[in-house]
A and B are shown apart, each in its own frame.
Chain A
Amino acid sequence: MRLSADQIILWQHGFIKLNGTIAFTWALMFVLVAGSWLVTRNLSTGLQRSRWQNLLEIVVTGIVQQIDEVGLRNPRQYLGFLGTLFLFVASACVCTIIPGYEPPTGSLSTTAALALCVFVVVPFFGIREQGVGGYLKSFIEPTIIMLPFNIISELSRTLALAVRLFGNMMSGTMILAILLTITPLIFPILMSALGLLTGMVQAYIFTILAAVYIAAATRGSKAKAA
């Protein structure tokens, strides 16, 4: 049985393989980028707006509001990263209603890559806000005894981010495949509807957790002073 889209090999030349995960990721990237480009080609500030512009405005302002509620100041600054994460994971899940499509987030490589992006971005924003010393000081925050635990938590939450998203998306397709062999009539439809809901919740969770980590790295000492 196939665990993920990794095992669909579309094209192979020596060491270089083009598997289903990469192909679906590229297709998603193309749809997202081309769609955004098409919508934002002629934006209007007047009362007459196109339907698609309304949709994008709702999405963007919704994400900004959610980031703001987490407690990040200047949410617009983080919108590029967090919004892209959310839109990619969410569209990877929503597109599962297309037959023949397998979510690229159901492969551990994709989710590990996304989690590594978060792992790199958190110190980046932390250093930009507080400086190198301020960010490194947050590792020995209560006492210096906590240093190894802080480092371990930094690593383990990256692993948890990756495995959580992978497990949820993979379990959705897996349960669907098992159900198709047992009760192929109506039950798989219900489970795929549930899978859409879980996928959206996971996209939300992934983004919110990334925002919470960034907020923890950027606040640090300033929150204590305030």
Chain B
Amino acid sequence: MDSMTLIAIASIVTAGLTIALGSIGPALGEGRAVATALSSLAQQPDAGSTITRTLFVGLAMIESIAIYCFVVSMILIFANPFWNYAIAHAAGK
């Protein structure tokens, strides 16, 4: 195996692992957040607008963790710097 193949294997496997492992935590966190918000909405429907706003802000903060993982895996697949370096290196040879 030359270095290009190794880089390709490592990038693809790491991209899959990144998005797979990285979405577990935010998924659990979002589920907990929504469940708690729903139960507090059922207890206090008057405070609905405040709860919903705080929930949305919190959900976006939690979700951004998953988004970071997504960005990293997209970079690994579509804009991999190591891959580009290896291609440039091979072309220069």
Hey, which bits of chain A sit against chain B, CB under 8 A?
Answer: 1, 3, 66, 69, 160, 163-164, 166-168, 170-171, 174, 201-202, 204-205, 208-209, 212
Contacts and interface: CB of A to CB of B under 8 A. Distances in A.
B53, B56, B71, B79: residue with the most chain A Cβ atoms closer than 10 Å: B71
B53 A164 contact: no
Contact of B67 (A163, A208, A209, A212): A163
B56 A170 contact: no
Contact of B68 (A1, A163, A170, A208): A163
Contacts, number: 40
B74 A168 contact: no
Interface in B34-93: 49-50, 53, 56-57, 60, 64, 67-68, 70-71, 74, 78-79
B64 A163 contact: yes
A202 B71 contact: no
A163 B71 contact: yes
Contacts of A170: 71, 74
A200 to B, nearest CB: 10
Contacts of A174: 74
A132 to B, nearest CB: 30
A201 B56 contact: yes
Contacts of B68: 163, 167
Interface residues of B, number: 14
Contacts of B56: 201, 204-205
Given A3-B78, A174-B74, A168 B57 contact: no
A212 B78 CA distance: 35
Contacts of A171: 67, 70, 74
A208 B71 contact: no
A160, A167, A171, A204: residue with the most chain B Cβ atoms closer than 10 Å: A167
B33 to A, nearest CB: 14
Nearest to A108: B71
A174 B74 CA distance: 9
